[in-house]
Amino acid sequence: MCPLNKSRSRWHLVRGLIMGFSALVLAGCNPFLNDYSGERWPRVKSAHVVMQAPSPDDVRWIGRSDFTSTSQLHDADAIAAAKAVGADKVEWSDADDGKKLEWTSVPVAWNVWQGKAGFIPIPVVKEQFRYQARFYRSDSLGGHAISAGAGDAVSKTVPPVHTGETR
């Protein structure tokens, strides 16, 4: 076997491991899931966004998520969270929640002898958004919840999603 082919196969293996690990890390970074409270059902294959709460005759409200973030989220983030908790419908909104001061560091000097950089903290003002989501599971899907809701997350009345959306 040519040594060049060995290095290529190693590169493909390393690249595959890096891509797989990156996917695992990114999968755990969905804020809708990080703040989710409610029941968890078996994962669904497809989900979609609804603009208003579906009829309670056809669906079961299984959970919610309510948080603020400086990241802008999209339908795909809410849909991914819905699939993960077993919901086939998700109603969500975003609203401007003012500004937030965050700190970051920037390099100001490089020490050639030690190979180290000096950093100073600087303030950065970012837009902050309030996100709310309600997750629903169609009665036609059947099945049983994998885990029960936490606290008052799931009750007979579904709290409304904020209507001041900016999407």
Summarised one tens digit per residue, pLDDT across range 56-70 is 898 999 999 999 999
Q: Edge to edge, what strands does the sheet with 37-38 contain?
A: 37-38, 59-69, 116-138, 89-111, 48-49
Is the pLDDT reported for residue 29 higher than 70?
Answer: yes
Name the least confident of 10-24, 72-86, 118-132.
Answer: 10-24
What does pTM read for this prediction? 0.66
Amino acid, single-letter form, for residue 18: I
pLDDT at position 50 is 96
Mean predicted lDDT score pLDDT of the chain: 79
The 10 Å Cβ neighbour count of residue 33 is: 16
Closest CA to 166 of 131, 118, 116: 131
Q: How large is the average pLDDT for residues 129-147?
A: 89
Answer whether 80's CB lies under 8 Å from 90's CB: no
Closest CA to 93 of 165, 14, 15: 165
CA atoms of 139 and 81, how far apart (whole Å): 19
pLDDT at position 82 is 97
Name the pLDDT band for 101 (thresholds 50, 70, 90): confident
